[in-house]
């Protein structure tokens, strides 16, 4: 088992070289500096590598245990590792100072998140859900709710959860049955909830004294469908007027799931209202619960993409270290014919450089998206904020879905590099594959993300936001073409941009068909998202090549830049062609899918 080392240099390259510390130029971050960025990354790397990382394997082996009283015991060391995170002030890093946070850019918070998820994905899920709860409460909670609950969430001394799914209501939340009955006027301004929620990440645990559940439920007079769903805050312990904890609320962990991976993360079935009803407080407007919850889900979807990248980075490090250590075979005669490690075999090298180049590309795209979120939230010019928001909304389903799909494949390649030893749990390679596999499923399956891109995001502006991104890809291809050392990368990147533009036009055109439009969008959504991810990641690696080559020409002898050129070359000339094949899939149409009887396959 090889230790995890946070990729500080790679993160610095994206923030400083590719993004030119763009977020720091916003007035909201006037007190931040590149030196502060470096200091934050260094300290986060210590927490990730020294405190969280060593618990990853032991937490996987031990897992969580539900006690007879409904409480959940975390793996040894998890609670203290989480407290070290809280005591370091990490939970509020990206939260505004007005809400008690540190007010640093989203792009920095995302970089820190990657390190923590790379070190220990199961533990990293806890603050990820709390961040979403902070967003939902800050945007939609009443002044009274924010005064009573928000400080503790921002601090991290209380954690938050998101309660959507029910046994009969998975992705179709219109089928939610949990009920919220208003209390009598003389009791107070609250509701009593009853029902069951499943797959609740960190729904019960012993790392903090209180847990705040954000719950979708229906009031008795609510209409059927999405418009009848409201959002409620249900604390594990009620909170007194002086801020102290009061009585235990009527919410209990009925069971915890036994999962393929992330064993250190308690995934709970929560029962509300087994006694008198769980006391809950309306968040935002009645009947707009889904709208309010999406504030939380958009935050979480971007972070799930970051999470996948963290696991991919760890898998890459693990595979590189193993390949450099494992002796097997000899080099060809023309390379000396000597005994060698498997890192000398070109098929293994192909796997390793594929893992590295893809991980670097995914990181760059995810942090670019985070920087757009910073602009959308903090730029002084309203038009700039709007443009950045639209671009970020197009990117989020790509970051979530493409990053997590690729993370599974990267972790699988990591197992392959290990050979038979990768299939043995003791080496640690299998855990990364098992852990990564959930990421394409939760916070909206990747098929739903693809439908969001091909349906909602493209249709609302006739593809204008994605077309603007393609313009940037083509500009980078032109810059590569004008550079003597990098011109060989230009044709493939330009061709990828052309493929994507053509496929967007096809999806838009066929999606307008009054009879077959919905089927066309569903059939084309996943290959379109895959093509989009490949092209935009290759674009980021083209930018990386330009920056690395400029540093070399300026006299740098840092091997880091040479490795960036190798990664960029592979991403554009060997990985992007796999994505470009998606155009052939779209051009083949979808009649075959209509003709299939899926029950007789």
- 135 has a pLDDT exceeding 80: yes
Report the distance separating Cα 568 and Cα 589, nearest Å.
32
Cα distance from N-terminal residue to C-terminal residue, the chain? 42
Q: Which residues pair with 193 in a beta bridge?
A: 180, 278
Report the distance separating Cα 597 and Cα 601, nearest Å.
7
Identify the active-site residue in 204, 344, 443, 510.
Answer: 443
Q: How do residues 343-362 score in pLDDT, each as one tens digit?
A: 999 999 999 999 999 999 99
What pLDDT, on the 0 to 100 scale, is given for residue 59? 98
Average pLDDT on 290-297 reads 81
Inter-residue contact 218 to 230 (CB < 8 Å): yes
- Counting residues of the chain whose pLDDT is more than 90, the rounded percentage is 94
Nearest to 366 by CA among 309, 451, 313, 317: 309
Report the distance separating Cα 308 and Cα 315, nearest Å.
11
Q: How do residues 373-411 score in pLDDT, each as one tens digit?
A: 999 999 999 999 999 999 999 999 999 999 999 999 999
- What is the DSSP code string of 537-586? HHHHHHHHHHHHHHHHHTT---HHHHHHHHHHHHIIIIIHHHHHTHHHHH
- 293 has a pLDDT exceeding 90: no
Q: Tell me the pLDDT of the chain averaged across its residues.
A: 96
What pLDDT, on the 0 to 100 scale, is given for residue 370? 97
What pLDDT, on the 0 to 100 scale, is given for residue 298? 76
Q: Which residues pair with 17 in a beta bridge?
A: none
What pLDDT, on the 0 to 100 scale, is given for residue 253? 98
pTM of the model: 0.97
Cα-based angle 236, 240, 242 (whole degrees, multiple of 5): 135
- 518 has a pLDDT exceeding 90: yes
Q: How do residues 147-157 score in pLDDT, each as one tens digit?
A: 999 999 999 99
Average pLDDT on 410-435 reads 97
Specify the DSSP class assigned to residue 169: B
Average pLDDT on 213-224 reads 94
Q: How do residues 558-581 score in pLDDT, each as one tens digit?
A: 999 999 999 999 999 999 999 999
Six-digit token string for 192: 């009593």
Average pLDDT on 93-118 reads 96
In the structure, what pLDDT confidence band is assigned to residue 187 with cuts at 50, 70 and 90? Answer: confident
- 241 has a pLDDT exceeding 80: yes
Q: Is 257 one of the annotated active-site residues of the chain?
A: no
């Amino acid at each position: 088992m090889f230790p995890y080392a946070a990729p500080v240099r790679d993160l610095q390259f994206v923030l400083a070289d590719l993004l030119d510390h763009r977020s720091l130029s916003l007035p909201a971050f006037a007190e931040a500096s590149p030196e502060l960025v470096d200091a934050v990354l260094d300290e986060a790397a210590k927490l990730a590598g020294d405190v969280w990382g060593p618990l990853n394997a032991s937490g996987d082996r031990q897992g969580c245990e539900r006690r007879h009283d409904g409480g959940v015991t975390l793996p040894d060391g998890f609670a203290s590792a989480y407290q070290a995170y809280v005591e370091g002030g990490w939970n509020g890093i990206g939260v505004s100072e007005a809400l008690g946070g540190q007010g640093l850019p989203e792009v920095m918070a995302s970089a820190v998140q990657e390190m923590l998820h790379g070190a220990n994905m199961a533990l990293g899920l806890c603050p990820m859900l709390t961040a979403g709860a902070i967003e939902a409460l800050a945007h939609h909670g009443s002044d009274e709710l924010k005064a009573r609950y928000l400080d503790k969430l921002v601090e991290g001394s209380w954690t938050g959860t998101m309660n959507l799914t029910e046994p009969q209501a998975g992705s179709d939340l219109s089928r939610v049955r949990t009920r919220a009955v208003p209390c009598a006027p003389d009791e107070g301004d609250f509701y009593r909830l009853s029902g069951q929620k499943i797959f609740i990440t960190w729904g019960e645990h012993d790392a903090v004294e209180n847990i705040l559940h954000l719950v979708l439920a229906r009031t008795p007079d609510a209409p059927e469908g999405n418009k009848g769903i409201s959002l409620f805050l249900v604390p594990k312990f009620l909170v007194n007027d002086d801020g102290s904890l009061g009585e235990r609320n009527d919410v209990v962990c009925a069971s915890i799931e036994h999962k393929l991976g992330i064993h250190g993360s308690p995934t709970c079935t929560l029962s509300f209202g087994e006694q008198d009803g769980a006391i809950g407080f309306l968040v935002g407007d009645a009947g707009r619960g889904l709208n309010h919850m999406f504030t939380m889900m958009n935050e979480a979807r971007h972070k799930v993409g970051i999470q996948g990248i963290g696991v991919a980075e760890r898998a890459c490090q693990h595979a590189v270290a193993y390949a450099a250590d494992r002796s097997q075979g000899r080099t060809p005669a023309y390379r000396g014919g000597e005994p060698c490690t498997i890192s000398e075999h070109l098929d293994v090298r192909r796997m390793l450089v594929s893992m590295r180049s893809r991980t670097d590309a995914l990181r760059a795209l995810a942090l670019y998206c985070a920087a757009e979120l910073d602009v959308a939230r903090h730029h002084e010019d309203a038009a700039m904020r709007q443009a950045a928001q639209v671009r970020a909304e197009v990117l989020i389903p790509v970051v979530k879905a493409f990053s997590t799909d690729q993370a599974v494949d990267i972790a699988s390649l990591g197992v392959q590099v290990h050979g038979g030893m990768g299939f043995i749990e003791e080496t640690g390679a299998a855990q990364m594959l098992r852990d990564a596999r959930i990421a394409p499923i939760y916070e909206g399956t990747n098929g739903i993300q693809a439908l969001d891109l091909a349906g909602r995001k493209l249709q609302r502006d006739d593809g204008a936001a994605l077309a603007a991104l393609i313009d940037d890809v083509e500009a980078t291809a032109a810059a590569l073409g004008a550079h003597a050392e990098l011109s060989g990368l230009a044709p493939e990147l330009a061709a990828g941009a052309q493929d994507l533009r053509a496929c967007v036009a096809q999806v838009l055109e066929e999606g307008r068909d009054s009879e077959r439009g919905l089927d066309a969008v569903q059939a084309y959504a996943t290959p379109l998202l895959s093509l989009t991810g490949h092209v935009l990641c290759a674009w980021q690696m083209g930018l990386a090549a330009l920056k690395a080559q400029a540093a070399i020409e300026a006299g740098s002898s840092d091997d880091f830049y040479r490795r960036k050129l190798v990664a960029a070359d592979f991403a554009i000339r060997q990985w992007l062609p796999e994505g470009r094949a998606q155009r052939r899939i779209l051009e083949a149409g979808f009649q075959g899918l209509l003709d299939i009887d899926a029950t007789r396959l």
